Amino acid sequence: MRILHIRPADLNEALLFLNNGQETRKTEILHVILQRRSPAQSTEHSLLSQNSPIIVPDVRSITNQRYDQKLRETFNELLKRYRPDVIHIHVISGFSVLPILNTASNLNIHKVLTLYDYSFISPRKRRTNLATKTSLERKEYHRRIRYILNQSDAVVCTKPQQKELLERIHGPNSKIIPVHNGPTYQTILKKKTRSLFLKVGHICNSKCLYCVAGIANEPFIDLSLLKNKLEEVSPDYDRVVLTGGEPTMHPRFFELLYILFYLGLEIEIQSNIRIFSSQKIAARIKKFNPKITVCINSHKEDVFDLLADARGAFKQTVRGAINLRQEAIALETKIIMTRQNCDHLRDIISFIKDLGIKSVMLVFPTPMGLARDNFARINPRYEQIIPAIRQALQWGSQQGMHMLTENVPPCILGASYHSYDSQCEGMLDGIYMNISRGLYNCKTERKDIQKVKIPDCNSCRHFFACEGVYREYIKNFGGNEFVPVTV
Ligand code: SF4
């Protein structure tokens, strides 16, 4: 475990409440010291040391948690360089906390704060409630503090009155804890990532034969409506997964990314990445540190374009992948296994590897939307392709690829391949948000509405973990292939 302690230079190290008792021999501790400067100076930050303590000089002095963009840029570089598991910010008045938290949240790093004064209750550090400020300034200040509380995993109060006053203003909050109950880093690290799947709209520049969304032509979501809704629900989530349609086609896509970033969410985008065939756009997305998942369904241009039902899709996606890799953006891939490509899984994985991508999920089609309309044309039977799936999993793993499956029930996959099942890892769990429909649990929806189990499933040892098989599949092919696992 690596912990990065961040403190202003005027907070003496001897005064720090460091949770020393919780740090094991396997813990690596690094210190970052923020040196202040007067508002008149305007030099850039530079990291003065590669080793601990890391000095960040010329940090702007502020008193009301106004946003310091320069600090965000510095911490984007610093946190990517040191990749801590937890950052622990030691807070006294005078520097901007939110840019550090935003960047850590965006990079999926846990965050602990210890408060040493009353700067979160009043910018003047007094135990008063901003009595001298106008109501607008007060509102804005409390909004920033609320964002800070939402994004922290724990806020440790060194004085009992801090907790009482903070909760009086912002409501009861189990994350605000007195110093003697200080958080264990191990407990924080065990926290499960909570995902929000956000459907941005149905519009897309491809018309993939296996598309689950279909051609509903639902307009893109209204950003002002969405912003209010996200402010309300985002404290309950750590990660947002943008889906569609094609999220990058939203006319205010980058504005949406800014909103998600400032709310402190890690950003994942399910995209066909055709838009990133423009180097300029690929470079623009870098600052949000997104993880992008793309379907690469063939190494052959004609098959790829046929499955995407869009001429030129192959060339644009491949160029997009190259551009994104050049910008060091994390890319993961899916191969939707259809009649058209299931004999070439190994070649496709090899092609993906050559693009510099290390993660492949083999996905059996979900027969909804266009995939249901095209069922007879694209959907293979499990029994036809399971030998190819097993071979591909083995070969891909030998090549150092991270291999997973989706929508392949354990009884089909076989015991030796069970560890590849993303469903058992809970990777597909989360809450969907659709502006017209609100929030709904995607796992429950799949299990209770879209999928079904055959009567024999009752005797299967995977009965509770397995989601079952899509109704449409059983309707077309019956359930004979699914033999309960009893040993
Ligand atoms: S519960 Fe049914 S579908 Fe799932 S693994 Fe067992 S037999 Fe297969």
pLDDT tens-digit map of 266-279: 999 999 999 999 99
Do 56 and 31 meet the contact criterion of CB atoms below 8 Å apart?
Answer: no
Expressed in angstroms and rounded, the spacing between residue 478 Cα and the centre of ligand 1 is 14
Ligand 1 closest atom vs CA 468: 3
Question: Residues 409, 417: contact at Cβ < 8 Å?
Answer: no
Mutate to test the pocket of ligand 1, among 417, 447, 451, 466 (most ligand atoms within 8 A of CB): 466
Please compute the mean of the pLDDT values over residues 355-374 and round it to a whole number.
95
pTM of the model: 0.87
Stretch 297-305: mean pLDDT: 97
pLDDT tens per residue across span 177-203: 888 766 678 888 888 888 898 888 888
| Ligand 1: nearest atom to the Cα of 409 | 5
Q: Are 300 and 339 in contact (CB under 8 A)?
A: no
Task: Kindly give, in sequence order, each residue whose CB lies less than 8 Å from that of residue 150, ignoring residues fewer than 6 positions away.
Answer: 234, 235, 263, 264
Average of per-residue pLDDT values in the chain: 87
- CB within 6 Å of ligand 1 — which residues? 409-411, 453, 457, 460, 462-463, 466, 468-469, 482, 484-485
- Strand pairing report for 154-157 and 176-178: parallel
- The ranges of the chain annotated as CATH 3.20.20.70 are 195-477
Residue 451 CB contacts under 8 Å (≥ 6 apart), including other chains: 467, 468, 469, 470, 471
Query: What residue owns the CA closest to ligand 1's atom 3?
Result: 468
Number of CB atoms found within 10 A of residue 187's CB: 11
How far does residue 184's CA lie from ligand 1's centre (Å)?
Answer: 39
Q: Quick one: pLDDT at residue 49?
A: 52
430 near 241, Cβ under 8 Å?
yes
pLDDT score of 250 more than 60: yes
Per-residue model confidence as pLDDT tens digits over 106-129? 999 999 999 988 888 876 555 555
pLDDT for 343 equals: 95
How many angstroms is it from 463 CA to the middle of ligand 1?
A: 6
How many whole angstroms from 307 Cα to the centroid of ligand 1? 29
Calculate how far, in angstroms, residue 484's C-alpha sits from the geometric centre of ligand 1: 6
Query: Looking at the domain covering 195-477, what would its CATH class be?
Result: alpha beta
Residues 158, 115 contacting (CB under 8 angstroms): yes
Cα 306 to ligand 1 centre (Å): 33
Fold of 2-189: Rossmann fold (3.40.50)
Looking only at the bridges linking them, the beta strands covering 2-8 and 28-37 are parallel
User: Which of residues 338 and 433 earns the better pLDDT score?
Assistant: 338
Atom 7 (ligand 1): residue with closest C-alpha?
A: 484
Q: Look at the alpha carbons of 278, 283, 287, 290 in this order and tell me if their dihedral is positive or negative.
A: positive
Q: Cite the residue boundaries of each domain of the chain with CATH code 3.40.50.
A: 2-189
